[in-house]
Copies of this chain bind each other. A is one copy, B any other.
Amino acid sequence: MITAPADELAQSIRSAGLKVTEPRLAVLRALDAEPHAGADTIFGAVKRDLPATSLQAVYGVLAALTAAGLLRKIEPAGSSALYERRIGDNHHHLVCSRCNLVQDVDCVVGEAPCLSASNDGGFAIHTAEVTFWGLCSNCQQTQTVSRNKETA
């Protein structure tokens, strides 16, 4: 696991036309450690480095970075919004129905079969978003709840 090089984070923020600030760096670092996290989780991580940071600041940072294309926001049914740094590729997600663990999945077979709906009803489709629901390996074994974060 390659923890992101310090200045590279700053660089990416700057080249998006945004000012480089500690809260922003901290948010990116937090998402480096936990690739799928919600505002609240990120807030917790950020506060460890910058105790003065407010939750609203985190929301602001997330909104700005997402708008700038540095983050991707996902909203699995039943959960609050999650953010991830993996962008550019249109990958999909695996969500554990029990513990809400989220895992990336590379785009399905070949040339994105999911991108072509059978009947597009006149829509001009630009994105296909796939969410796979199932039990993570952990939850398949322990039938007891093992983990439960970011559940709205």
Residues of chain A touching chain B, judged by Cβ–Cβ distance below 8 Å, are: 73-75, 77-78, 92, 94, 96-97, 103, 105-109, 113-137, 140
Return 14 A-B CB contacts under 8 Å, by A number.
A74-B77, A75-B78, A77-B129, A94-B117, A94-B123, A96-B123, A108-B113, A108-B118, A109-B116, A113-B114, A115-B132, A123-B136, A124-B134, A131-B131
Are A123 and B135 closer than 8 Å at their CB atoms?
Answer: yes
A120 to B124, CA, bound (A): 30
A120 to B136, CA, bound (A): 9
A133 to B109, CA, bound (A): 20
Report the copy number of this chain in the oligomer.
Answer: 2
Residue of B nearest to A81 (CB): B77
Are A108 and B117 closer than 8 Å at their CB atoms?
Answer: yes
Q: Please tell me which one of the listed residues B73, B107, B118, B132 contacts residue A125 in the complex, with CB atoms under 8 A apart.
A: B132
Are A137 and B122 closer than 8 Å at their CB atoms?
Answer: yes
Are A120 and B108 closer than 8 Å at their CB atoms?
Answer: no
Are B129 and A133 closer than 8 Å at their CB atoms?
Answer: yes
Known: A122-B140, A123-B134, A129-B131. 20 other contacts (CB 8 A): A75-B75, A94-B117, A94-B123, A105-B118, A108-B113, A109-B116, A109-B118, A114-B130, A117-B132, A120-B132, A123-B132, A123-B135, A123-B137, A125-B132, A125-B134, A127-B133, A128-B131, A128-B133, A130-B130, A130-B131
